[in-house]
Amino acid sequence: MSRKEEEGELAQRRLRRQDVQDRAVANYFRCVNTGTCMVAKLWPDRLEELPRYDERADRFICPSCASELVVGPPRAPAVQVIVLLDGAERARLLLEDSVDLEIGRVDAKGCIGLDRHLASTSVATLSRRHIRLQMRGSDVLVTDLSSKNGTSMRLRRDPAQAARKLRPNVPERWLLRDALVMPGGITLERSGRRHPMGGDRPSGKTTVNPDAAVTTFVRSDRR
């Protein structure tokens, strides 16, 4: 393949990945596999996380049972919460204004369990309901729900800096430059960086800017 052909192919792939991202955040999705899928039972109206993408079939699938999803109405602006394990991205959750979201070890009503995304050894030290996230206007608040092993906050740009432990049951502002540190090597970062999607997983090879503005999403007219 010539250099020109290769450059053209890479440009086309980047456009494709951007199109997938736009489609993923433009609408709500829901899983209707209520017979066997826990996510469909707990969130029958809409997913609270980004769907996975089946590149071969060009469709979005449930992050739990891999069933094809039903596309719902346009999504309200949301902040993405990036779940990382030892620095590698594993999942993205969506946080909307005035909609509380809890994160813990296992799925429960109103709580997303990280055991679907991470190995059992990584989530073993998480509490069943570990933290609560809330978006109130331009502020994102985090509350440690009296978790057994606690939650800390540190500057994202300086991983070597000592993390500050959150007080139980006291909401605190979560700034874009900060990372939430949870037990088991799990960290959470806010949006403000973008990753193109490769298949059903975001690519880890993208240069990112941790100081960029918070990413908000609006409906896209691209199809």
> If DSSP states are collapsed to H, E and C, what string results for 26-82?
HEEEECCCCCCCHHHHHCCCCCCECCEEECCCCEEECCCCCCECEEEEECCCEEEEE
Domain count, the chain: 1
Q: How confident is the model at residue 87 (pLDDT cuts 50, 70, 90)?
A: confident
131-186 confidence digits (pLDDT tens): 999 998 889 999 999 999 999 999 877 767 778 999 999 999 999 889 999 999 99
- Residue 134 CA to residue 66 CA, distance in Å, equals 28
Q: Does residue 216 sit within a domain?
A: no
11-45 confidence digits (pLDDT tens): 544 556 778 888 888 899 999 999 999 999 999 99
Q: Does residue 164 sit within a domain?
A: yes
Strand partners, 154: 179
Q: Does residue 33 sit within a domain?
A: yes
> Is the pTM here over 0.85, yes or no?
no
**For the domain that residue 57 is a member of, what is the CATH number?**
2.60.200.20
Q: What is the C-alpha R_g of the chain?
A: 18
Q: Does residue 213 sit within a domain?
A: no
Q: Does residue 209 sit within a domain?
A: no
Q: Give which of 213, 204, 206 is closest to 177, Cα–Cα.
A: 213
Q: Does residue 15 sit within a domain?
A: yes
Q: Does residue 130 sit within a domain?
A: yes
Q: How confident is the model at residue 8 (pLDDT cuts 50, 70, 90)?
A: low
The distance of Cα 13 from the centroid of its chain, to the nearest Å, equals 23
Say if CB 195 and CB 206 are below 8 A apart: yes
Say if CB 185 and CB 82 are below 8 A apart: no
Task: Name which residue leads in pLDDT, 54 or 6.
Answer: 54
Q: How confident is the model at residue 99 (pLDDT cuts 50, 70, 90)?
A: confident
Q: How confident is the model at residue 196 (pLDDT cuts 50, 70, 90)?
A: very low
What sign for the dihedral angle of Cα 89, 92, 96, 99? negative
Contacts of 64 (CB under 8 A, 6+ apart): 31, 37, 38, 39, 40, 116
Mean pLDDT of the chain: 81
Q: What domain range includes position 158?
A: 3-202
Q: Does residue 183 sit within a domain?
A: yes
The segment with the largest mean pLDDT, out of 51-55, 84-88, 111-115, is 111-115
